[in-house]
Chain A
Amino acid sequence: GAGVSQTPSNKVTEKGKYVELRCDPISGHTALYWYRQSLGQGPEFLIYFQGTGAADDSGLPNDRFFAVRPEGSVSTLKIQRTERGDSAVYLCASTVQGPLNTGELFFGEGSRLTVL
């Protein structure tokens, strides 16, 4: 697509429930990133995919968080047993690798997760 697309835009869930957030990157972008942005803070890195594999998952806070990118395009961030502290905006970004890379990441509009 023309830009990074994230769904849902907003998600309200109850504590303890399971949540999936989806990211569709810009066509042809092989690198995909997930960030979490808490209220009043800057985005914090969660995980980075190069193709289908997670090249760096050092930002995932605990084992309740998991992300996949099975075909190297769309990615899903999965959160199990949600807690109120998981409430945040989850941002996805993508970029092209190789000679065309200009260093910047292209972001979607994020998914706002609210855990009641």
Chain B
Amino acid sequence: AQTVTQSQPEMSVQEAETVTLSCTYDTSESDYYLFWYKQPPSRQMILVIRQEAYKQQNATENRFSVNFQKAAKSFSLKISDSQLGDAAMYFCAYRSPPHTGTASKLTFGTGTRLQVTL
């Protein structure tokens, strides 16, 4: 079974600064998806960024980028130019490719609470 580990329960960053959230995972599969989801107080999980394991290039979405190290099974999220609206819980998640037909669920880490200060 796949596992996802987030070792930072809380992180703090000043507005306009950069912060990196860590995530490691364990799997025996060679192809899979990795995600970072943001959960504000509204409770709705919002997709921040997605990485497909077969792609070597790190995904980037505006101020959000990842450092994907497949051999090390590491998937960290970098937030640049942090904004007050970035404050939330951030969850790293793993998913087997849908075409496998099995284990199509997302497996989440325990989350990192990000605080953004002035």
Contact A89 B97 (CB under 8 A): no
Question: What separation, in Å, do the CA atoms of A41 and B107 have in the docked complex?
Answer: 12
Contacts of A45 in B (CB 8 A): 105-107
Is A1 an interface residue, CB under 8 A from the partner? Answer: no
Is A91 an interface residue, CB under 8 A from the partner? Answer: yes
Contact A97 B44 (CB under 8 A): no
Query: Which residue from chain B places its CB closest to the CB of A91 in the assembled complex?
Result: B45
Min CB distance, A51 to chain B, in Å? 13
Contacts of A95 in B (CB 8 A): 98
Contact B43 A109 (CB under 8 A): yes
Question: What separation, in Å, do the CA atoms of A33 and B106 have in the docked complex?
Answer: 9
Contacts of A48 in B (CB 8 A): 104-105
Contacts of B52 in A (CB 8 A): 103
Contact A43 B108 (CB under 8 A): yes
Query: Which residue from chain A places its CB closest to the CB of B101 in the assembled complex?
Result: A55
Contact with A along B1-17 (1 / 0, CB 8 A): 00010100000000000
Q: How many residues on chain A are close to B (CB under 8 Å)?
A: 27
Contact A104 B43 (CB under 8 A): no
Chain B positions 39-66 with a Cβ under 8 Å from a chain A Cβ: 42-47, 50, 52
Query: Which residue from chain A places its CB closest to the CB of B102 in the assembled complex?
Result: A56
Query: Which residue from chain A places its CB closest to the CB of B89 in the assembled complex?
Result: A42
Residue of B43, B95, B105 touching A89 (CB-CB under 8 A):
B43
Question: What separation, in Å, do the CA atoms of A97 and B98 have in the docked complex?
Answer: 8
Contacts of B108 in A (CB 8 A): 42-44
Contacts of B50 in A (CB 8 A): 102-104
Is A21 an interface residue, CB under 8 A from the partner? Answer: no
Contact B98 A101 (CB under 8 A): yes
Query: Which residue from chain B places its CB closest to the CB of A45 in the assembled complex?
Result: B105
Query: Which residue from chain B places its CB closest to the CB of A103 in the assembled complex?
Result: B33
Query: Which residue from chain B places its CB closest to the CB of A110 in the assembled complex?
Result: B43
Contact with B along A100-116 (1 / 0, CB 8 A): 01111101111010000
Is B91 an interface residue, CB under 8 A from the partner? Answer: yes
Contact A109 B42 (CB under 8 A): yes
Question: What separation, in Å, do the CA atoms of A89 and B45 have in the docked complex?
Answer: 12
The 3 closest A-B pairs by CB, nearest first: A42-B108, A107-B45, A103-B33
